[in-house]
């Protein structure tokens, strides 16, 4: 295993503002997932999104990695952005991630306390699915490719009627899945198979906002409630109209929750 190298996408640049690091969901690239929310975030944050290995702008991983190593990759990316002057020294730093990006949020809270002024896990959980389910999916995608995931993801990702009402947003997201490297996608599945921080939440010290969609079949609102109940500084929120990709499905509501939470921390 090794720490993956992650490529940032500067969705909104303004070094005078606090920086929001925005994390991806499995199968999506940064721009189609977070782009719809940027207009509602840009007055408050510089927005830097990152792509999973083999997704969007990031190079494919060449070997398996864990969620802990993925979190380390995020920290290494932030250090590089600071060295390049993209993130001003001493400025406030926040993190919000979706699905596996939300799992990364919780891993960051466990492994790197105090690095962020506030963290949000979106459409995620302290443990997602089962190790067996993720291992099966990894084997299927490594063998047959990411297009095998498109039909099922279209059902899991979006609330009923969203695809018909928002064809451009949904098509861009599904295209990013189809274009993802199959082996890197399988590596991410392997990372999720080994992810479980339920027992570690009680010892966390960072402010955490868990946002889940009321219509999410993958990570229902009870997962957000679990985080809020077990993390000392945890709180939960539900977006009624969203399923599994809240920043793209309900960008204004998602951004409002993030702005309210982060500007109070």
* Domain ranges within the chain, ordered by starting residue: 7-262
pLDDT of 230-255, one tens digit each?
999 999 999 999 999 999 999 999 99
pLDDT of residue 265: 86
CA–CA distance, 152 with 227 (Å, rounded to integer): 27
CA–CA distance, 30 with 247 (Å, rounded to integer): 11
* Average pLDDT score over residue span 209-233: 97
For the chain, how many helices (H) and strands (E)?
12, 7
At residue 1 the predicted structure's pLDDT band, cuts being 50, 70 and 90, is low
What whole-number percentage of the chain has pLDDT above 90?
97
Tokens at 122, concatenated: 């979106």
Mean pLDDT, all residues of the chain:
96
Classified by CATH at the fold level, domain 7-262 comes out as Rossmann fold (3.40.50)
Report helix angle 182-193 to 131-144, nearest 10.
Answer: 170
Provide the strand spans (E) within the chain: 7-12, 19-23, 46-51, 93-98, 118-122, 208-213, 234-239
pLDDT of 15-35, one tens digit each?
999 999 999 999 999 999 999
* Average pLDDT score over residue span 136-165: 93
Strands 7-12, 46-51: pairing is: antiparallel
């Amino acid at each position: 295993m090794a720490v993956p190298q992650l490529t940032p996408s500067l969705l909104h640049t303004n070094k005078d503002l606090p920086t929001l690091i925005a994390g991806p969901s499995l199968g999506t690239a940064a721009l189609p997932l977070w782009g719809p929310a940027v207009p509602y975030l840009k007055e408050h944050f510089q927005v830097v999104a990152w792509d999973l290995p083999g997704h969007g702008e990031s190079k494919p991983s060449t070997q398996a990695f864990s969620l802990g190593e993925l979190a380390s990759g995020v920290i290494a990316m932030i250090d590089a952005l600071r060295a390049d002057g993209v993130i001003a020294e001493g400025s406030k730093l926040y993190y919000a991630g979706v699905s596996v990006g939300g799992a990364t949020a919780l891993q960051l809270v466990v492994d790197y306390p105090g690095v962020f002024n506030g963290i949000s896990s979106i459409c995620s959980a302290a443990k997602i699915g089962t190790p067996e389910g993720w291992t099966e999916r990894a084997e299927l995608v490594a063998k047959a490719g990411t297009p095998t995931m498109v039909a099922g993801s279209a059902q899991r990702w979006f609330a009923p009627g969203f695809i018909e009402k928002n064809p451009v947003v949904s098509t861009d997201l599904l295209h990013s899945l189809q274009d993802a490297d199959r082996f890197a996608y399988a590596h991410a599945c392997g990372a999720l198979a080994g992810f479980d921080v339920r027992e570690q939440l009680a010892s966390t010290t960072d402010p955490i906002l868990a946002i889940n969609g009321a219509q999410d079949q993958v990570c229902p609102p009870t997962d957000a409630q679990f985080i809020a109940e077990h993390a000392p500084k945890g709180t939960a929120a539900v977006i009624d109209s969203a399923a599994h990709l809240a920043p793209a499905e309900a960008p204004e509501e998602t951004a409002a929750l993030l702005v309210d939470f982060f500007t109070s921390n």
